[in-house]
Amino acid sequence: MATYRPPVHHLTATALERLRQEHDDLTTRGRIEVAAKIERARELGDLSENGDYHAAKDEQGHMEGRIRHLESILENYELVEIDDVDLVGPGKLVTVSIDGDAPETYYLGSHEEKYDGATTMTPESALGRALDGHRTNETVSYTTPNGHQLTVVVLRVELP
């Protein structure tokens, strides 16, 4: 039987610090504030028809889910170190043309990092694996998860 291995999240040092700060904030200030909201709502009386109470409990549930998600990332990450700027790899923006279509720009890394004008693509995705290690003007062929063969031209590799 196969053992479950959580995904590795490719993070830049900046993203890692931001996620650590968010986790710290949610587990301290966030929990205190939600607990206070729940307590204030309880003081209003009947909980079965208390919208404030239910909203505060929903907020608590969403926050605890985010905390668990952050903990998973912080337990299973790989710090992205950028050596060769011209080489496609985690932590870089990659502009490509797929089957001759208009250029598209992707950020290769964790979904926790977002860049304007770029769609985030994980290094573990089919296209991410195909592009990894290639350079500008190289052509890559890859098979999509649904079995289509595509040709991709790397137009630009840059740091975000």
pTM: 0.74
Is the CATH number 1.10.287.180 carried by domain 9-79?
yes
Instruction: Quick: pLDDT tens for 31-56.
Output: 999 999 999 888 877 767 778 888 99
**Which pLDDT does position 1 carry in this prediction?**
66
Across 93-131, b (16+ Cβ under 10 Å) vs e yields bbbbebeeeeebbbbbbbebbeeeebebbbbeeebbebb
Q: How much of the chain exceeds pLDDT 90, in percent? A: 57
Confidence band (pLDDT; 50, 70, 90) for 134?
A: very high
Least confident piece of the model among 20-34, 40-54, 136-150: 40-54
CATH of span 92-158: 3.10.50.30
| pLDDT tens, position by position, 3-12 | 877 778 888 8
- Amino acid 59 reads E
Say how many C-beta atoms besides its own lie within 10 A of residue 9's C-beta: 25
* Extents of the domains making up the chain: 9-79, 92-158
pLDDT, mean of residues 69-90 = 88
Q: Is the pLDDT of residue 156 over 90?
A: yes
Q: Is the per-residue pLDDT at 159 higher than 90?
A: no
Beta strands in 8-143 (DSSP E): 9-11, 77-79, 92-98, 104-108, 119-121, 139-143
